[in-house]
Amino acid sequence: MPVNEISKNHKLTEAPMVGDHLAMDLLNTEARSGDKVIDYWNSDADVLRWLQLHGIVPVTGRNLLAAGELLKQAKALRALAHQVISSFKQQNRSDISELNLYLHTYVSAPHLQQDSDGKLLITRISRSEPAGAMLGPVAEAVAQLLAEGSASLVKQCEHPDCILWFYDRTKAHKRRWCSMATCGNRYKAAQFRKKQ
């Protein structure tokens, strides 16, 4: 989805959440505006906000990361995810050892809690250091996509100006656009104008 279209639906500082999978939304923290790639992560606060939008709550009461460290590690994870997911999509093997480093730093424990209706749920709470606690669930989503997902359902938007990714969960698996409301309609309108 081009940035000028994204900004109509999202704050320009928020990456679009159109991937239908946490691993895809990770890749979508970069978008395109014309020939320029826009990075939605420019500070630790940007990464924290994105994590919170995905239900990953920052660790409190632990040693804090040095300024810029979360951003650095998140961008490194994103670059790694792009590499391994691209290889997965092309059904090629890739080196997963670096992804395992992220996974191994994410230590969690079962936790019993009640939901708003009083029903008991088993969840997991992180027992990791801050970076592992925050980026571990994202790395785990990438690993789950690689282990359990279908390469044929990992797609990029077909609009020529868009670089966004999504996991096609539609019944017929024929999704072509990151968002039909933006890229799909823009493409169809352009095709209609060509015919006229």
Q: What is the structure's pLDDT at 152? A: 95
Distance, CA of 144 to CA of 149 (rounded, Å): 7
In the Cβ-directed half-sphere of 30, how many Cα atoms lie within 13 Å?
A: 12
Q: How does pLDDT run across 63-84, given as a tens digit for each residue?
A: 578 889 999 999 999 999 999 9
> Tokens for 186?
């823009």
How much is the average pLDDT of 25-32?
93
- Which region among 105-109, 127-131, 138-142, 155-159 has the lowest average model confidence (pLDDT)? 127-131
- 17: its two tokens: 């959440």
Domain spans, the chain? 3-195
pLDDT over 60 (residue 109): yes
Cα gap 123→34, rounded to integer Å: 43
CA 105 to chain centre: 19
Please, are residues 106 and 132 in contact by the beta-carbon 8 Å criterion?
A: yes
Global confidence as pTM: 0.82
CATH of region 3-195: 1.10.3300.10
SS3 156: strand
Look-up of token digits 């282990």: 147
CA of residue 129 relative to chain centroid, distance: 21
